[in-house]
Amino acid sequence: MDKRVAILDNKYYQSASVFLPENLLREARRQKNIGQGDVPSICVLDPDGDLADYLIGQGLAEKSKCWACYHSSLYQFELNGTPLGIVPCIVGASYAVLVAEQLFVSGCRLLISVTSAGIINEPYNPKRFALITEAVRDEGTSYHYIPAGEISAISPGLYRKLASLDQDIWFDAKSWTTDAPYRETAEAINAMQSEDVTCVEMEAAALYALGIAKQRDIVCFAHLTNTMAQQEGDFEKGEHFGSIDTLALIKKIIL
């Protein structure tokens, strides 16, 4: 029996991919009859979709006419006069990176991900947003971008910029990125607790690996909302399902 771990085999990190996001978008535009156009330079991944729902419901966002992705929709809105794009319901590492790759070849320069996360180690502060500075690579996508021994973390330059801001909304944290939320066993949680992991989510390790491999500015935040549904009343995010707080967070970053 072949006992090799396939996900670690045949990874040629210095070689270009044959399949390119810009070529996929070219064909999507042709098939959908969508003209050329750039997305805003700052875009947001909204895995839960709550922020996008709020903006659309308030009449503050409209669907992009130039976003040709086969698998997602992009909405545009303004925050303090700054145009932003938001892509809702991008859940999981591979989907997040698929969309991120397409955003970066479409005019995006800074990608912000704000995802709900389960609490692994209760933080010693009342803040509910965690700036993910490093993520445990317990998913598959990151291994296609950077070698297994490399740490998946926010870029030092981007971190320095964020560290210079007033951090009254967030704190720094290490996260656990998983592909299998319903395999978060007690033993796995205990192991992550011993590694000083604050939370568990499904995108950060892969997004940061993309950022490292292709030198893209990506920042991942976790909204600490739950304890993996171990009791009733979990997953509460706040006013308008956390949208007001999330907008305040984004405003801090882009100003």
3 in any annotated domain:
no
Look at phi and psi of residue 170 and say left if phi exceeds 0, alpha if psi is from -120 to 50, else beta.
beta
What pLDDT is recorded for position 233? 63
Q: Which domain holds residue 105?
A: 33-226+235-254
19 in any annotated domain:
no
Digit-coded pLDDT (tens) for 99-133: 999 999 999 999 999 999 999 999 989 899 999 99
Domain CATH code at residue 105: 3.40.50.1580
For the record, the structure tokens of 105 come out as 């070849």
What pLDDT is recorded for position 234? 54
Confidence of residue 235 (pLDDT cuts 50, 70, 90): low
7 in any annotated domain:
no
Q: Across all residues in the chain, what is the average pLDDT?
A: 94
72 in any annotated domain:
yes
Digit-coded pLDDT (tens) for 40-87: 999 999 999 999 999 999 999 999 999 999 999 999 999 999 999 999
Residue with tokens 């535009």: 29
* Under 8 Å between Cβ of 214 and 13: no
21 in any annotated domain:
no
**Number of domains comprising the chain:** 1
Mean pLDDT of 81-101: 98
CB under 8 Å, gap of 24 or more: what pairs does 70-78 form?
70/24, 70/28, 71/95, 71/98, 71/99, 72/99, 74/39, 74/43, 76/39, 76/40
13 in any annotated domain:
no
- Which residues contact residue 243 at a Cβ distance below 8 angstroms, ignoring those fewer than 6 apart? 50, 51, 53, 54, 55
